[in-house]
Amino acid sequence: MVKNDSFDPDRLVLTKNDILVFCDKVIEKWNKEPSKNTNNILAMTAVKASIIWTDEDSLKAIWGEIISWVFELLYENALSQGKIDDVDWSSVMKKLKNKK
């Protein structure tokens, strides 16, 4: 992964290989219970194939939108739970980091 000193959520610095590694980690996790995750594994394998075939610039545009959408979705989900002001976001981010 390319390191950057300034944070800009609209600028994706992940590489094609970084995204493929992510897909492999998810597939590996789901392969621990393959009968339960058959459809998920198949779908992620298709996602991985599309990443392999897609050029780097398009991937940056697509995954930049996905990441932006995820932040928005997390915010909307927190609002729906009425917890936006009560949430310790540092603990949420720590939890996400520990899932790696």
Hey, is 67 helix, strand or coil?
Answer: helix
**Which tokens belong to 1?**
């992964």
**pLDDT at residue 1 tops 70:** no
Which pLDDT score is estimated for 34?
A: 96
Per-residue confidence (pLDDT) for residue 69, from 0 to 100: 86
Q: pLDDT value at position 89?
A: 64
DSSP class of residue 13 equals -
Task: State the pTM of this model.
Answer: 0.66
Average pLDDT over residues 63-72: 83
What is the residue whose two structure tokens read 């393959």? 34
Residues 14, 67 contacting (CB under 8 angstroms) = no
Give the chain's mean pLDDT. Answer: 82
Segment 9-38, tens digit of pLDDT: 666 678 899 999 999 999 999 999 999 999
CA separation (Å) from 93 to 34, 50, 61, 78?
A: 29, 29, 24, 14
